[in-house]
Structure 1
Amino acid sequence: MIKFAKPIAAAAALALVAGSAAFAETRVTYKSAKAASSYYQMGVQISEALKAGTDGEIIVTVEESQGSTQNVMEVRARGADYVFTTPPSLVSLAQEGKAMFEGKGDPAFDEIRALFPIPSLTMHFVVADSAGITDFAGLEGKSILLGKGSFGATEGEKYLGLFGLEGKVDIADVELSGAVQALKNGQIDGFVTAGSYPAPNVIEAAASTGVTVLSLTDEQIEATKRTRLTIPAGTYAGQTEDIATTSLPVVAFTTTKMDDDTAYALTKTFWENKAAMGETAGWWNGVDETLMANITTKLHAGAVKYYEEAGFELTDAQK
């Protein structure tokens, strides 16, 4: 009996340690976008940053999504571990039961809370330098690729109408994935794309062909009813001046089901590791304290705790 005492004690101690480790580990599901998108890549980067920044105490599983609306709808069936990305405007629509959420209201939508901003969907009107286009009026009579079914395509078409170009631009029947090659071959004069900046397809076009990304005037930005965003000079090859454009803010959300400590840890670790993420993926460098103004819904109480400790200025509506 005596000779088994030490192994039994050791096994019990090991079980206690293992149990404590399991208890300490927090698992989170992060639902972002389609696997081929830049936003899915961002989810993977956030997952890696949170694991490293918490010494493995927070483990994030990234899930593919078919879109922001789906992400919001899944709040109804998800638990305390659910984090998802969507524009704040969609959360407001869900809470008000409007647009795509009409007739689909649910009390769970009222429990959605924001954590932190991620790179915005940024509009790029990209034209070949050889086309000699310097403003939107110059698009008349030119061949422009809008793509199909994407936010950028829908938004681009809307802007052409707003700026008096409806029916005056030749819309190219080419998939957005072929935009850079079509620009190189002279098949199109330009293309429209929406994504976080610096956008990979714009980087490629600027480096291989020479392009201009058109700036919007203050009046044009106001007409779009979108959020103003500045792409700093030097973001793309040959870009010597800031670009004034529009964006659709995107934010990481959870719900009140998540405990305050986890929300605090997620928010704190994100901001503390953002600079390191920016060293390997430039789109994180566009995320700073100014994007907090794009969060028009309530923040999670755990996130509020971090922001107040870090000296962020919050609005009453965010608290």
Structure 2
Amino acid sequence: MKLLTTCVAAAALIGFSFAAQAETRVTYKSAKTSSSYYQMAVQIAEAMKEASNGDIIVTVEESQGSVQNVMEAAVRPGNYVFTTPPVLVKLAKDGKAMFEKRANPKFGEIRALFPIPSLTMHFVVGEDAGIESFADLKGKKILIGKGSFGAKEGAKYLKLFGLEGQVELADVELSNAVPALKNGQIDGFVTAGSYPAPNVIEAAAGTGVNVLSLSDEQIAKTKRTKLVIPAGTYAGQEADITTTSLPVVAYATTQMDDETAYAMTKNFWDHKAKMGKGAAWWDGVNADLLSNISGKIHPGALNFYEEAGFPVSDSQR
């Protein structure tokens, strides 16, 4: 009996050992817990666990921003995945801008996995505000917020389009934009996030809004990526909205093995439609967004894209 008990215990230990070896752990550095990008990270973690039958366990970590995410890529070991706009990865590799004094050769080991919803600019105005174009913003009261990407872009666009000093900027927190619009305190607000944006959905349903489109000439001035929000995305939206975006991508480093990178990329695309049922922002992600990736794609992810027939450029290989 003792021998039998010992053998059973040994077998259980061996089984546990194999299970532990089979389990792959990934750290996913995302954004602030209050952001939609943190919610996306949680969805991805759940999708990876389900798709791999528990073999891939993703732990989501809060981040203070994309620059921090890129900086940690130089020091984090193993399966470190993080999200950031591709432009920051390029700046890090080139040692420019905010990375000029923090250059590190390990930035050259960053590799892309898959795109996630882009930061999409929304210029939202009340449907009764008499605003049909950017020129109509003159003399109006607009909320652009403070400190965020959307606030900085909003201020930049007003300057680019000759409206600096001609638009009254409301001193209201962006979190209060919808009630402020409803109460007539402002004529519109600027927000940036994955579409459909929750605050725009709320405003469209409760107040009635228009989201301004940018012309190709205006988009060229912004030097951002063109993005089309399909008609019907928001209540009362009868036509497509042409706007700008800042692409966002999930990255790993060369420390991640090809098998794990392949599995994560395949699981992401296989479960994207299911994730879209829980959050519509995934519906805006498609194979065309791969073109926004500057630099190299991880060889493991590349194996999946080649199998699936996704468009990949020579410079990304």
TM-score by length of 2: 0.99
Cα distance in structure 2, aligned partners of 1:4 and 1:146:
74
CA deviation string 1:105-142 (max 9, x = no partner)? 10110000000000000000000001011100000000
Structure 1 match to 2:225: 227
Structure 2 match to 1:304: 302
Mapping 1:2-81, distance limit 5 Å: 3-81=1-79
Which segments of 5 or more consecutive residues in structure 1 lack a partner in the other structure?
none
Cα distance in structure 1, aligned partners of 2:313 and 2:100:
28
Amino acid in structure 2 at the alignment position of 1:312: F
Alignment partner of 1:235: what SS?
coil
CA deviation string 1:223-260 (max 9, x = no partner)? 10000000000000000000000000000001001111
Structure 2 match to 1:114: 112
The offset of 1:313, in angstroms, is 1.8
Asked if the contact 2:288–2:311 (Cα under 8 Å) also holds between the matched residues in 1, the reply is no
The number of residue pairs the alignment matches comes to 317
Structure 2 match to 1:102: 100
Structure 2 match to 1:268: 266
Structure 2 match to 1:132: 130
Alignment partner of 1:18: what SS?
helix
Structure 1 match to 2:199: 201
Alignment partner of 1:138: what SS?
helix
Cα distance in structure 2, aligned partners of 1:103 and 1:204:
43
Structure 1 match to 2:293: 295
Amino acid in structure 1 at the alignment position of 2:284: G
Structure 2 match to 1:237: 235
CA deviation string 1:24-51 (max 9, x = no partner)? 0011010010010000000000001111
The offset of 1:158, in angstroms, is 0.3
Cα distance in structure 2, aligned partners of 1:83 and 1:120:
17
Alignment partner of 1:42: what SS?
helix
Amino acid in structure 2 at the alignment position of 1:57: D
Alignment partner of 1:131: what SS?
coil
Alignment partner of 1:258: what SS?
coil
Structure 2 match to 1:89: 87
CA deviation string 1:191-210 (max 9, x = no partner)? 00000000000000000000
Cα distance in structure 2, aligned partners of 1:313 and 1:207:
37
Cα distance in structure 1, aligned partners of 2:307 and 2:46:
24
Asked if the contact 2:66–2:83 (Cα under 8 Å) also holds between the matched residues in 1, the reply is yes
Cα distance in structure 2, aligned partners of 1:277 and 1:42:
9
Amino acid in structure 2 at the alignment position of 1:237: A
Cα distance in structure 1, aligned partners of 2:130 and 2:231:
20
CA deviation string 1:249-302 (max 9, x = no partner)? 000001001111111111010000000000110000000011010011100010
Cα distance in structure 2, aligned partners of 1:24 and 1:80:
15
Structure 1 match to 2:314: 316
CA deviation string 1:293-316 (max 9, x = no partner)? 001110001000110011112101
Cα distance in structure 2, aligned partners of 1:4 and 1:173:
77
Identity %: 68
Alignment partner of 2:76: what SS?
coil
Alignment partner of 2:121: what SS?
strand
Cα distance in structure 1, aligned partners of 2:139 and 2:252:
46
Amino acid in structure 1 at the alignment position of 2:51: G
Amino acid in structure 2 at the alignment position of 1:10: V
Cα distance in structure 1, aligned partners of 2:230 and 2:178:
22
Cα distance in structure 2, aligned partners of 1:285 and 1:88:
20
Structure 1 match to 2:254: 256
Amino acid in structure 1 at the alignment position of 2:67: T
